[in-house]
Structure 1
Amino acid sequence: MLKGIATAPGIGIGPVYLLELKSGEEETGNSQLLYGPEEIQAELTRLEEALGRAKRDLEELADKTRRDISEAEAGIFKAHILMLTDPTFIAGVKEKIQVEKKNAARAVEEVAEAIAGSFAALDDDLFRERAADIRDVAGRLVAKLTTRMRPAREVPPGAIIVAGELTPSQTAGFSRDTVAGIATETGGTTCHTAIVARALGIPAVLGVRGLLDQARAGDTAIIDGSSGAVYLNPGSELLEEYKKKKVTLEAGRLNIKCTGPARTRDGRQIELVANIRKAAEVKIALEHGAEGVGLFRTEFLFMNREEPPGEEEQFQAYQEVVAAFQGQPVVVRTLDVGGDKPLPYLNQGHDENPFLGLRGLRLCLTRQEIFKTQLKALLRAALYGNLRIMFPMVTALEEIREAKKIMAEARLELEASGLAVSRVETGMMIEVPAAALMADILAREVDFFSIGTNDLAQYTLAVDRGNERVTGMYDACHPAVLKLIDVTVKAAHRYGKWVGLCGELGSEIQAAPLLVGLGLDEISMSPVFIPPMKEAINKIAYHEARKLVRRLLELPGPQEVRAALSEFT
């Protein structure tokens, strides 16, 4: 039994399918050339992913060396990180891929050797040592590049996916009809891979140390997405026990009624809506009783391709979702990339800290042609139902005003072409502490707020939610985060604006009294959580939840908050 982080509930049982295969020396492909723009783009994407993985490895080594030896020795790996992120080195590798059409591993080797050779030729011991460091870093990167990722389409039905790490786009390629469970060595509860797994209803356990050393292709595995346990080659008794648990769990979910609204005992109604990524997920949302969509993550339309989708393609995708909900609200978040969701074709450049860099609305305002195309498609789709537009990663009033200005231009251009465009509610996400603290100002500029607790907690607590080394410090129930939510809700209601919540806190059934007591008007979550959340809210009295929240806001830490929630329920 291996222990990881429980990230997507449910039980998965099936044979292990290793998504990553180490190539032999003869299979590295270093003599192969690339053919066509599709292969070149795929190689650039592999390079970016390998750079990220190699950097994280070096950061862990530096941290371990600092703890076990000294700060001075840790400096060796810090220097290696600088080499790995050197713009000249990366530009040279990309040029070889794009111009000379060499694969990423070969390009890294050639560029690194050219740099190392120039240092080694100098008559200075320090420079010769630097040449050895360059070769060391390049070797680490090549090792990442010569790990072959098997395509999702090859996964046999009923398999347990095992990998070192998964990107959100890789996870999005899976289906709950074919994949029984997911286990990875890295990741945490709020990384985007976990979010996508929950949306798909696939049990997942992330952050399982030593998983790749223990798992073998074809092993029978059990994934317990509620406890975080991964069992490899379980005995017959344990296997039978989990098969019974799986049947009981699935039967229990089916017995929870989805009909009727979520209404507290004293009559306060709260909309329960779904987080989705594409039109194919609408059916799942409706089956689980969603009253609309609170977060349509449009970035998945832009992933795994060589160029952004055009206006017509986007319009078709948005129109299909809006029409399916027949007048119920569909909140669409405009393109939210950057951080752990880069798009190579946007040439976003290198950010030393991507989560504090050019992402979300900031990026869209610098790529207005892509932004305006999306807004046009959304405005057209709004004619088919109740579509609302939401801007992500807003920090300042000026950003909202600029975004609304571009949307007004998009509207005028559509009208000039003879298309009638109706008024669309426009809102913004509260993900940054600055936005929460300025909510009373921002509320006058928008029609609604949606609180993204994943990033709000990350930025408030200064904890990278995708870094398993500090996962224990991340908790959206921290009183500091709750106070920002409270401030936001009160400011919005003061101006007659509604407030939703679309972070993963909205999927925590235990947190139902907290979510009710904060005065939220809408909660958006992965569809599988809607029935149990509805059931929990129907048992709560709003006035009692309000009293509870006043007490929670005065507690010293998240542990005390969760203890009080357990007592309440």
Structure 2
Amino acid sequence: MQILTGKSILDQFAFGPLCFYRRRSFHPEPESRLTPEEETHRFHTAQRQAILQLSALYDSACAELGTQAASIFSIHAMLLEDASLVEEVLTTIRSRHATAEYAVQAVEREFSSAFAGMDSPYMRARGADIRDIAHRVIRCLLGLKTPDPLAARSGILVSDELLPSEVLALDRRKLLGLVTRRGSVDSHTAMLLRLMKIPGLAEVEISSQDEGHAALLDGFSHSLYLDPEPQLMAELGLSPATERRPLAASL
């Protein structure tokens, strides 16, 4: 049995197989064959489409989790219309003769880096929101859908970082828990997990070689037990052969 530690998002237990999510990387062409005016039009079209998607997410989150969760996507929509962010994208398109995808990605990295350098943990966590809206706009530009990190599986999801809109897209019946290598307990992702009553650990040093292994996520001790020993499972009243679900805190 191996024990990993991180920062707990919720005081609860979860047991199940580790399912790794590897988000698709975007490698947009830096220079466009279109005119800057055409790329600007592409950006504004994708921006409007993304805002419509966020409006639908707001309604869905409001119905399922309440206004606190829904407010995340209202904030995302406002960020997408932020004058300084939009102007940076348009300036990049014009000055570098860049594709809209490249410009959005370049500005996302600039803004994310700025948030990462802030003193406040809360403000540092806002970088994930910038990445979320940027990925959404790029998917709109490329005609891609929001990915389903778990697909047909059930388990404890492991990722470098899970973005708020990706959390809402998950089937909560399949998501037993979340483990991230980065992430933050101050992020909107963490807030959504708490509202969903799904345990999670952030800042865990975990290897991709552990995919498929059984794991016990202990939110109380900020620990992740890989291939937990039978004695530990017995203390929690679990059978590895049958228990693949979130557990109510009972210790």
Structure whose residues are more often helix by fraction: 1
Larger Rg: 1
Structure ranking higher on relative contact order (CA contacts 8 Å, 6+ apart): 2
